[in-house]
Amino acid sequence: MRYKISFLLFILMPFSLCAASWPYSEKVLLKELDDAYAKVEERANFCSDLRSRKITKINSDWLLTLSEHQRQIALFAVSNMALDRCMKQVEGDYNTALINYTSKTGDKTKFDRWMILNSNYPKEIQADFNKLDQNELIKLSKQAELSIPFYPKVDKSIILPNGDDNSPFIYKNND
């Protein structure tokens, strides 16, 4: 008899554990979401602090050919690329928690807010951004000084013609 009870407990235990965790508790999902968001905020502060550093040199023939307005948009785009790179991991974790929360609770308000918050380019500059050479933006974003978050308003005097490939300011990605 004792073995039968042990056997039944052994067989039924996994089912009872599943039943206890299903359906997901909105409270648990919300805590996971809040924890993931706290990590996003912490990382955002770190990445924001990086933006305060001073850019000393940008090597780019292409940037020198752009108008002031185009150059500002290009540097804004490259700055966003660096910020995205800095935030990538924690935002991915938050996105997973957000999708999990939204799909299980049906509450789309947090998802909608997150989507609005993460629209990268204001509508006013979207058309100008689309005119920029995307390959040049990617190449520019690989320069060591521009691969880390930076404040996109830079003095034109630090933009220099391309140097040789051995310049210490060129980030080489060997992927």
Going from N- to C-terminal start, the domains of the chain cover 24-160
Residue 25: the pLDDT is 85
**Closest by CA position to 77, among listed 117, 135, 156:** 135
Task: Compute the radius of gyration of the chain from its Cα atoms.
Answer: 24
Per-residue pLDDT tens over the stretch 17-70: 344 445 568 899 999 999 999 999 999 999 999 999 888 899 999 999 999 999
Give 68-71's long-range contacts (Cβ < 8 A, gap of 24+).
Answer: 68/156, 69/128, 70/128, 70/131, 70/132, 71/156, 71/159
Per-residue pLDDT tens over the stretch 130-147: 999 999 999 999 999 999
Q: How far apart (Å, rounded) are the C-alpha atoms in residues 82 and 104? A: 33
Residue 120, SS3 per DSSP:
coil
Q: How far apart (Å, rounded) are the C-alpha atoms in residues 131 and 156? A: 21
Kindly report the pTM of this predicted structure: 0.71
Half-sphere exposure (CA, 13 Å, Cβ side) for 46?
13
